[in-house]
């Protein structure tokens, strides 16, 4: 079952064939949303904090050029090698070049959604570089040759039994073992050996500080630190939107990030890197890959405010019931659905429609991105640019013709109700998606207007 | 005050009793209500499908029908929100006036009419479905996502009904999965969301599920009926006008 | 045109008009008892706090808590007698067999149990992650209510590396089931001196 080649609706239908599994997935993520609610409720100034974060990010978007230049200059002064990548290919080439220069043929990597976006692992593997993901969730999906299904909880689609099976196969744990403590210990031993033997480590970047030329990486496991502090070469990769003006702004973001993500007050490690340790080489890659284009889209630019907390995924009733893989994109869920069309409209034209526009996402978002409004706006753009099917366009045109004409509307209503009353089979069949799991509403003999004209208009 | 009653197309065609209850309710609180006869649809079905450009005819027709009223009231949070957010017309100043005078039924009753008592009795256990467009879009009630003081305009009104017992749901404001054309284009997820929402109400032993949006209720009704449940749906206007 | 120039040119062309930074972005947190708040939240994040009167009390507690523990190292002169190995290594890999590291914390945050450490406390950056067990000694007087206060007090780039550490290493990547001790320390005790 490879959901990645299917559109969202089809992949979701596959996902929903196993209803108990959907229930489990939904409950597991709802549990995370509930933890987020409890953590946020403990902060009396929560809504003001969101507003502050949103305003800081608005400033960042508007001052991006100068902040990037300032950051680069300060990072260089700190002894960090700064690279610029216009797109995914350039990013991957830069990483490969750095690794090859060290003579290494393997690397340990902590979580970086950017490298997922760039499909870096496959690229490096094809050039003979072994990459081991060190975040536990990422390691699990890597062993299973799957992409992460969630940006914070990469293996959230898997049960402990699934993980037990995977570890039995790859790490030699006991068959049938499913205790998370036992399984985590096995991964700890396996990855500890990896950390101790790799010369090159790659990490993502949560925040880059223009004022000081340093960057912050947040993890709970400590895997980014283990990799970076033991390696001779540390590569950090960031989308350019990760920039913030000053270190004191971290006070706002670090208060919001983990609470929004998992309901923790802060991640276990919030590590601030400014200089390589003596004898170490530190590289930082600043990646565009469509971001400057998105910055120019007035209606969609503020999607670049995202701090990748995934609160919008955990709260999304569609995500919880369709699974991350149904979004066939490195970043799934509501935020992914407004980012992905910028990367490829044709490939991702289905994603803005994978929503009921319920608006929960926009209201959990710690930086106040108007996600559901952008989903609506992407729909307009995608249809205008011709990424809808011709059938859909024709159906909509026909619908509009009826609905804009009082006479046609009344006629269609009358005929429709009549047909449903006397020949329900016209609608009650397997070709009607509504009828698949729902009964049709009972059609009345008269419309409200009929009643009104009869009873109210003299 | 002169109120123009906007009855969304699917209510007109499939749920006329909801429209009748709305009309009765508005008249019972002293409004002079007029139903413009040439009205059709707010245009949302096209717009939410990405064809806002095809909604122009509906917009023009809406403006023709609803110009000149002090208030325009509708028993639908979703259609009200659509008009408030997206109504534009050749006569843009008229469209702007209409947008500012557009109210969903319950907010009109609590905020404009300031209803403090109702002559209604409904001695049943009732679950309230907080429709998203009404709740998050129009701000009819505080949403669980925000860390702000709670309030609910629909609950405020339901509390005025004799005998009504409102249940507390496990997930107070999760979407039911209707979502306009989403209900057919994403049938699997839509139906699953609806089943889960209905199950929450059933777990709490409701006799009726109510709400401010017939579209959500229609979706949940379809699911209830498929499982041969005795639980029924009632639009809030029906409950607010119910007598024993 | 290099990629750098191209990216910066695109950014400049596409960024919106300057939006000012907000003036209000620091908030005050008030706790009835800041020490108790820190201790409670540390427990919540999987750590353990011990209020102690002096270094002797710390020694006694560690000897009871980790009886017979070997490969113990500390940067705190007053606790040197507990150590049988050193953190002052040039190659961080030499810390691989470290069982217990006892280090000082610079500042602690009551709202989230985080403790700021930089290279003045960490002769090797990897120390608090590579050690099997971790103990941090803080002064109660260094407690601040929240992260805004913390960033007012510290300078993030005084040294090349610093971290806010809150509780032991953990993961919930297997079915949201919390496991303490992912890759970093398996436990954290924070000793709080007056």
Question: What would the pLDDT profile of B75-104 be if each residue is shown by its tens digit?
Answer: 999 999 999 999 999 999 999 999 999 999
Q: What is the number of CB-based contacts under 8 A between chain A and chain B?
A: 222
Number of alpha helices (DSSP H) and beta strands (DSSP E) in chain C: 5, 11
> How many structural domains compose chain B?
2
Name residue, tokens 């985080």. C114
Name subunits touching B (3+ CB pairs < 8 A).
A
Sequence ranges of the domains in chain C: 29-193
Name subunits touching C (3+ CB pairs < 8 A).
A
Sequence ranges of the domains in chain A: 43-289, 392-455
Distance from C-alpha of C81 to C-alpha of A413, rounded to nearest angstrom:
90
Of B69, B84, B112, the residue that ends a domain is B112
pLDDT of amino acid B233: 98
Among chain A residues, CA nearest to C10:
A292
Question: A115 and A236 in contact (C-beta within 8 Å)?
Answer: no
In this structure, what token pair is assigned to residue B61? 């027709």
What mean pLDDT, rounded, does chain B reach? 97
Among chain B residues, CA nearest to A449:
B12
Question: What would the pLDDT profile of C131-166 be if each residue is shown by its tens digit?
Answer: 999 999 999 999 999 999 999 999 999 999 999 999
Question: What is the domain class of C29-193 according to CATH?
Answer: alpha beta
How would residue A456 be classed by pLDDT, with cut points 50, 70 and 90? confident
Q: What DSSP designation does B152 have?
A: B
Contact A439 B221 (CB under 8 A): yes
Residue A432 confidence (pLDDT) above 50:
yes
Distance from C-alpha of B60 to C-alpha of C17, rounded to nearest angstrom:
35
Beta bridge partners of A272: A216, C162
Residue A3 confidence (pLDDT) above 70:
no
How would residue B244 be classed by pLDDT, with cut points 50, 70 and 90? confident
Chains B and C lie in contact, requiring 3 or more CB pairs less than 8 Å apart: no
pLDDT of amino acid A5: 79
pLDDT of amino acid A445: 93
Distance from C-alpha of A258 to C-alpha of A268, rounded to nearest angstrom:
10
Among chain B residues, CA nearest to A416:
B13
Question: C174 and A183 in contact (C-beta within 8 Å)?
Answer: yes
Q: Which domain holds residue B204?
A: 125-240
Contact A30 B40 (CB under 8 A): no
How would residue A327 be classed by pLDDT, with cut points 50, 70 and 90? very high
Residue A119 confidence (pLDDT) above 50:
yes
- Helix (H) or strand (E) holding C173, with range, is none
Q: Is residue B35 part of a domain?
A: yes
pLDDT of amino acid A4: 63
Q: What is the number of CB-based contacts under 8 A between chain A and chain C?
A: 265
Question: B14 and B20 in contact (C-beta within 8 Å)?
Answer: no
Distance from C-alpha of A380 to C-alpha of A377, rounded to nearest angstrom:
5
Distance from C-alpha of A309 to C-alpha of A222, rounded to nearest angstrom:
18
User: Which alpha helices (DSSP H) does chain B contain, by range?
Assistant: 9-14, 16-28, 44-48, 56-66, 77-86, 92-101, 105-107, 132, 153-158, 182-185, 187-203, 214-226, 236-240
- CB half-sphere exposure, B41, CA atoms < 13 A: 26
In this structure, what token pair is assigned to residue A203? 């990490």
Residue A1 confidence (pLDDT) above 50:
no
Distance from C-alpha of C34 to C-alpha of C15, rounded to nearest angstrom:
43
Distance from C-alpha of A88 to C-alpha of B205, rounded to nearest angstrom:
54
Q: Is residue B118 part of a domain?
A: no
Range 324-353 of A in CB contact (< 8 A) with B:
352-353
Question: What would the pLDDT profile of C45-93 be if each residue is shown by its tens digit?
Answer: 999 999 999 999 999 999 999 999 999 999 999 999 999 999 999 999 9
Distance from C-alpha of C113 to C-alpha of C41, rounded to nearest angstrom:
6
Q: Is residue B94 part of a domain?
A: yes
Residue A2 confidence (pLDDT) above 60:
no
Of B54, B77, B112, the residue that ends a domain is B112
Question: What would the pLDDT profile of B104-156 be if each residue is shown by its tens digit?
Answer: 999 999 999 999 999 999 999 999 999 999 999 999 999 999 999 999 999 99
- Helix (H) or strand (E) holding A126, with range, is helix A120-126
Question: What is the domain class of A43-289 according to CATH?
Answer: alpha beta
Residues B35, B80, single domain; the answer is yes
pLDDT of amino acid B234: 98
Of B112, B145, B176, the residue that ends a domain is B112
pLDDT of amino acid B45: 95
pLDDT of amino acid B1: 82
pLDDT of amino acid A431: 87
* % residues pLDDT > 90 (chain A): 95
pLDDT of amino acid A426: 87
Q: Is the ipTM of this complex over 0.90?
A: yes
- Helix (H) or strand (E) holding A312, with range, is helix A311-315
Mean pLDDT within A392-407: 95
Name subunits touching A (3+ CB pairs < 8 A).
B, C
Distance to chain B for A33, nearest Cα, Å? 9
Q: Is the dihedral of CA A49, A55, A61, A67 positive or negative?
A: negative
What mean pLDDT, rounded, does chain C reach? 97
The answer for residues whose C-beta is within 8 angstroms of residue B230's C-beta and 6 or more apart is: none
The answer for residues whose C-beta is within 8 angstroms of residue B118's C-beta and 6 or more apart is: B157, B160, B161, B240
pLDDT of amino acid A89: 98
Residues B11, B107, single domain; the answer is yes
Question: B217 and B93 in contact (C-beta within 8 Å)?
Answer: no
The answer for residues whose C-beta is within 8 angstroms of residue A65's C-beta and 6 or more apart is: C8, C11, C12, C15
Give A296 or C184, the one with higher predicted confidence: A296
What mean pLDDT, rounded, does chain A reach? 96
pLDDT of amino acid C141: 98
Distance to chain C for A152, nearest Cα, Å? 9
Mean pLDDT within B206-223: 98
* Residue C2: count of CB within 10 angstroms of its CB: 9
> Residue B150 sits in a domain of what CATH number?
3.40.50
Closest CA to C125 of C76, C163, C86: C163
Residue B191 confidence (pLDDT) above 70:
yes
- A403 interfacial to chain B (CB closer than 8 Å): yes
Residues B92, B167, single domain; the answer is no
Range 14-73 of B in CB contact (< 8 A) with A:
14-17, 19-20, 23, 35, 37-41, 43, 45-58, 60-61
Tell me how far the alpha carbon of residue A149 is from its chain's centroid: 8
Distance from C-alpha of B106 to C-alpha of A305, rounded to nearest angstrom:
36
Q: What DSSP designation does A336 have?
A: H
pLDDT of amino acid A284: 98
* Residue C84: count of CB within 10 angstroms of its CB: 12
């Amino acid at each position: 079952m490879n959901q990645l080649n299917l559109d969202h609706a089809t992949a979701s239908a596959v996902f929903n064939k196993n209803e108990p599994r959907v229930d489990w997935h939904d409950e597991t993520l709802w549990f995370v949303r509930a933890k987020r609610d409890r953590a946020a409720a403990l902060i009396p100034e929560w809504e003001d904090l969101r507003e502050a974060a949103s305003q800081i990010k608005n400033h960042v978007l508007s001052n991006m050029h100068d902040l990037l230049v300032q950051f680069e200059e300060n990072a260089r002064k700190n002894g960090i090698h700064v690279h610029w990548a216009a797109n995914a290919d350039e990013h991957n080439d830069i990483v490969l070049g750095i690794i090859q220069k060290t003579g290494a043929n393997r690397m340990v990597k902590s979580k970086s959604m950017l490298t997922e976006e760039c499909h870096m692992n496959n690229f490096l593997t094809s050039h003979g570089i072994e990459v081991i993901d060190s975040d536990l969730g990422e390691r699990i999906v890597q062993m299973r040759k799957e992409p992460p299904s969630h940006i914070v909880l990469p293996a959230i689609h898997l049960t402990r039994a699934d993980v037990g099976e995977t570890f039995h196969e790859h790490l030699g744990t006991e068959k049938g073992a499913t205790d998370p403590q036992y399984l985590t210990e096995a991964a700890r031993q396996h990855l500890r050996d990896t950390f101790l033997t790799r010369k090159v480590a790659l990490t993502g970047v949560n925040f880059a500080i223009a004022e000081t030329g340093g960057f912050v990486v947040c993890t709970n496991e400590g895997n980014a630190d283990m990799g970076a502090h033991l390696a001779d070469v540390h590569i950090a990769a960031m989308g350019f939107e990760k920039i913030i003006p000053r270190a004191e702004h971290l006070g706002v973001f670090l208060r919001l990030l983990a609470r929004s993500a998992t309901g923790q007050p802060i991640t276990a490690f919030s590590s601030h890197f400014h200089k390589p340790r003596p004898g170490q080489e530190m590289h930082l890659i600043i990646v565009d890959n469509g971001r400057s284009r998105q910055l120019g889209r007035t209606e969609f630019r503020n999607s670049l405010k995202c701090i990748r907390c995934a609160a919008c995924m955990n709260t999304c009733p569609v995500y919880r019931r369709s699974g991350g893989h149904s979004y066939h994109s490195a970043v799934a869920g509501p935020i992914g659905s407004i980012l992905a069309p910028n990367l490829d409209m044709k490939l991702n034209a289905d994603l803005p429609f994978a929503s009921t526009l319920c608006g929960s996402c926009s209201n959990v978002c710690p930086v106040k991105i108007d996600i559901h409004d952008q989903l609506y706006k992407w729909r307009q753009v995608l249809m205008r640019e011709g990424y809808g099917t011709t059938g859909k366009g024709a159906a909509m045109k026909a619908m509009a013709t009826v609905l804009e004409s009082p006479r046609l509307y009344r006629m269609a209503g009358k005929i429709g109700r009549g047909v449903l009353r006397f020949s329900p089979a016209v609608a009650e069949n397997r070709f009607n998606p509504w009828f698949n799991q729902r009964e049709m509403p009972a059609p009345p003999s008269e419309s409200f207007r009929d009643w009104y004209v009869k009873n109210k208009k003299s | 005050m002169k109120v123009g009653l906007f009855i969304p197309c699917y209510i007109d065609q499939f749920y006329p009793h909801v429209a009748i209850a709305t009309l009765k309710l508005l008249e019972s609180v002293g409004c002079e209500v007029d139903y413009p006869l040439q009205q059709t649809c707010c245009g949302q079905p096209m717009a939410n499908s990405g064809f806002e450009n095809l909604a122009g005819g509906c917009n023009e027709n809406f403006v023709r029908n609803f110009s000149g009223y002090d208030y325009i009231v509708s028993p639908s949070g979703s259609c009200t929100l659509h008009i408030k957010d997206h109504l534009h017309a050749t006569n843009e100043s008229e469209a702007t006036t209409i947008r500012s005078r557009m109210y969903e039924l319950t907010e009109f009753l609590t905020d404009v009419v300031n209803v403090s008592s109702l002559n209604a009795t409904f001695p049943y256990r009732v679950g309230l479905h907080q429709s998203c467009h009404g709740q998050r879009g129009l701000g009819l009630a505080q949403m669980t996502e925000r860390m702000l003081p709670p309030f609910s305009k629909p609950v405020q009104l339901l509390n005025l009904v004799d005998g009504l017992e409102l249940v507390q749901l496990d997930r107070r404001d999760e979407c039911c999965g209707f979502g306009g054309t989403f209900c057919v284009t994403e049938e699997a997820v839509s139906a699953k969301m609806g089943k889960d929402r209905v199950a929450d109400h059933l777990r709490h032993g409701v006799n009726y599920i109510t709400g401010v949006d017939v579209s959500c209720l229609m979706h949940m009704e379809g699911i209830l009926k498929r499982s041969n449940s005795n639980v029924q749906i009632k639009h809030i206007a029906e409950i607010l006008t119910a007598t024993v | 045109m290099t990629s750098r120039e191209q990216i910066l040119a695109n950014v400049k062309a596409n960024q919106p008009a300057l939006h000012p930074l907000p003036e209000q972005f620091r908030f005050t947190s008030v706790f009835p008892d800041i020490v108790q708040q820190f201790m409670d939240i540390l427990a919540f994040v999987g750590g353990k706090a011990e209020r102690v009167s002096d270094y002797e009390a710390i020694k006694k507690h560690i000897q009871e808590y980790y009886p017979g523990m070997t490969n113990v190292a500390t940067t705190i002169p007053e606790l040197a007698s507990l150590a049988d190995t050193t953190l002052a290594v040039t190659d961080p890999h030499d810390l691989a067999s470290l069982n217990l590291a006892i280090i000082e914390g610079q500042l602690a945050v009551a709202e989230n149990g985080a403790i700021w450490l930089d290279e003045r406390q960490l002769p090797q950056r990897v120390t608090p992650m590579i050690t099997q067990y971790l103990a941090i000694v803080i002064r109660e007087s260094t407690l601040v209510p929240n992260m805004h206060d913390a960033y007012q007090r510290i300078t993030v780039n005084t040294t090349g590396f610093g971290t806010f550490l809150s509780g032991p290493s953990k993961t919930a990547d297997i079915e949201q089931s919390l496991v303490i001790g992912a890759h970093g320390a398996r436990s954290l005790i924070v000793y709080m001196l007056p």
